[in-house]
Chains A and B, each alone.
Chain A
Amino acid sequence: MSETTGPVRRRVLRVVLVDDHRLFRAGVRSELGERVEVVGEAGDVDEAVTVIRDTHPDVVLLDVHLPGGGGRAVLDSCVPELPDVRFLALSVSDAADDVIGVVRGGARGYVTKAISGDELVDAITRVADGDAVFSPRLAGFVLDAFSSGTVDVDDEGLDSLSPREREVMRLIARGYTYREVARDLVLSVKTVETHVSAVLRKLQLSNRHELARWAAAHRIV
């Protein structure tokens, strides 16, 4: 299901696995096989920061719940000093509330731990290319978060989605792949990716108050 959107990547991607379950890391390693080179592993925040700094990978697979501060702590340390390292969050729960902190910290999307090897490689490739990985659930979260509150219709700064972006998000929430979205809206896949990246940026930088308010209103546990 991989889409070739840019130059075909020849170099094997270098990836660091960060997860506190050793068995899970071993499983992912074997699933990824030869397609991706796992250059380092870590089980907690400090170890992760050290390994990332030493190996300077292309993509970091980052568990959301890590001892020592969670995935967010790793992002806070690494993102400022290593801007070309891309982070893809791993989550057991598939609940946007869980993941949103990490996304706002700089991760370019997330995948659930139940993901298949092929889809994982695809997601890693996409993140390495600079695109965002949006699951239907994350898209649903975005639509929910950006629909609450009263924002000026004309103001398309960071606080609201453009109509096009909203359409793209709706289709992704309905389970469409980028290619299907592109076909449905009569766009190129690259344009779809651009919209998705723009939404990711808004999600990361937007008016904190609204998103925080949404998070507080939806906090269940």
Chain B
Amino acid sequence: MDHGTSQQPRATRARRGRVLGGVCAGIAAHLGWPVLRVRAGFLLLTLASGLGAVLYAAYWAWLPIADEDGEPPKGASADGEGRDLAGALGLGALAIGVLLVLSLRGIDLVGSWFTPLVLVGAGVGVLWRQSDEARRTALLSDVSASARATTRTAVRRRGPRILLGLALVLIGIVGVAASQGDVVASLKGLAAALLAVIGVGLVLLPFVLGWWRDLAAERRARIRSEERAEVAAQVHDSVLQTLTLIQRAAHDSDEVVRLARTEERALRRWLYAPVGDPAATFVAALESEIADVESTYACAVELVHVGDAPRDERIDALVAASREAIVNAAKHAGGSVAVYVECGPEAVEVFVRDRGPGFDPADVPDDRLGLRESVVARMGRAGGSAHVRSQAGEGTEVSLVLPAALGARSTT
């Protein structure tokens, strides 16, 4: 009776040693109880309220018949079974104790509806133990993760409305029934209807969970294929084309280096540093500007960033000013440009550094002067500032500072 990974074997209806449908024998084998006791239990339940027969029928329909070579059911109990048995007995004793106490107080719960309800619950519990241990945990984790997420959002958003709707419906039904006559009778009818609905729900529960699990699996598969398509698109659009171009330009080693480097940087950025939505955050917007500048001006721009900030008008101005500074560096320095961005609670700072020839601040070349003025002026309008540091032979650094607006905070 072992199924490899599962600790408890699936409950089946016994093939051999059965009297009617092999339900009692099968259950006895699954739980590790003596067959006689199980049979006695079913008999008592039948005599008491007819529930035994109902349960028997349900199990007959639900439990699969044992395999061809299944051994005759034994009363053997493994460690886990023993523990389960002890737990079940303990719970049963507790329930009986509670009932006794309540009946001493005059509350008689062992009436027509309480015990059968409890027993139905126990029956459902046993039904549940049908699945393999592993399959059940897999099911639960699959389902519970997605279910928890969706139900949590659903409950939060629609819970109050659902409850209100349910309450109204119930009151309405009771009202309609009561208007016909006896209130108590209509309440009893309502209770019976509720029980029926719950019963149907319990029966359908395994199916629903199965469907949910299939849905989750399908969703995962869809996400995976979408990702694969994305990778394929990137490889096709970008890498394959670059490789083709390289083959064609094989004689021109500078061009080959440029193509290879551009592609390498683009691919590395795509793989390792996705920084979010350019429309929403500063760093992402700057990243997309940088990618544009890199391909237009054939330069290498390294971006290091600490923290991030949400976009607004002033940040947009900073993005534009940064872009101009980077373009300026790319045009005059060639080679590589280093950009450092720090988004702190007090200010957003951007430093654009190149290792070009540099210039003597007292003798600024015209075009650098012009752009600098536009960068400086732009920053000034946005409420920030820009500074240029340069030294002949040492390269140039442009620093842009945008203080946080009053009341605004940047996110890290």
Contacts and interface: CB of A to CB of B under 8 A. Distances in A.
A130 B305 CA distance: 28
Given A98-B272, A220-B274, A174 B338 contact: yes
A170 B271 CA distance: 26
Given A170-B342, A174-B338, A174-B397, A140 B304 contact: yes
B272 A148 contact: no
Given A93-B271, A95-B272, A174-B351, 7 more contacts: A136-B302, A137-B304, A139-B304, A147-B412, A148-B412, A173-B306, A176-B353
21 contacts: A93-B268, A95-B272, A95-B273, A114-B261, A136-B302, A139-B304, A147-B307, A147-B412, A170-B340, A170-B342, A173-B304, A173-B340, A174-B338, A174-B340, A174-B351, A174-B353, A174-B397, A175-B338, A175-B351, A175-B353, A176-B353
Interface string A133-159: 000110110011001100000000000
Interface string A93-114: 1110010000000000000001
A92 B272 CA distance: 10
B306 A143 contact: yes
A147 B273 contact: no
Contacts of B306: 140, 143-144, 147, 173
Given A140-B306, A174-B397, A94 B340 contact: no
A143 B268 contact: no
Interface in B99-153: none
A170 B353 CA distance: 13
Contacts of B353: 174-176
A175 B272 contact: no
Nearest to B337: A175
A180 B342 CA distance: 20
A220 B272 CA distance: 8
B340 to A, nearest CB: 4
Interface residues of B, number: 20
B273 A175 contact: no
B346 interface: no
A3 to B, nearest CB: 15
Interface in B269-286: 271-274
A220 B284 CA distance: 14
Nearest to B304: A140
Given A139-B304, A174-B351, A94 B338 contact: no
A136 B307 contact: no
A191 to B, nearest CB: 21
Contacts of A176: 353
Contacts, number: 50
A175 to B, nearest CB: 3
Contacts of B271: 93
B312 interface: no
B264 A114 contact: yes
Among B264, B273, B394, max chain A CB count under 10 A is at B273
Contacts of A93: 268, 271-272
Given A170-B342, A173-B340, A175-B302, A94 B268 contact: yes
A20 to B, nearest CB: 18
Contacts of B264: 114
Nearest to B397: A174
Interface in B299-329: 302, 304-307
Contacts of A95: 272-273
B268 A92 contact: yes
Nearest to B341: A140
Contacts of B394: 180
A180 B395 CA distance: 11
A92 B340 CA distance: 21
Nearest to B336: A175
A103 B107 CA distance: 70
Interface string B333-363: 0000010101000000001010000000000
Interface in B232-280: 261, 264, 268, 271-274
Interface in A186-221: 220
A165 to B, nearest CB: 15
Contacts of B307: 144, 147
A95 to B, nearest CB: 4
A175 B307 CA distance: 18
A111 to B, nearest CB: 13
A63 to B, nearest CB: 16
B282 to A, nearest CB: 15
Given A136-B302, A174-B353, A174-B397, A143 B342 contact: yes
A104 to B, nearest CB: 19
Contacts of B342: 143, 170, 173
The 9 closest A-B pairs by CB, nearest first: A175-B338, A140-B304, A95-B272, A174-B340, A93-B272, A175-B353, A174-B351, A144-B306, A136-B304
Contacts of A148: 412
Contacts of A170: 340, 342
Most buried by A among B261, B273, B304, B342: B304
Contacts of A144: 306-307, 412
B305 A140 contact: yes
A175 B412 contact: no
A6 to B, nearest CB: 25
B340 A136 contact: yes
B8 to A, nearest CB: 37
A43 B307 CA distance: 37
Contacts of B274: 220
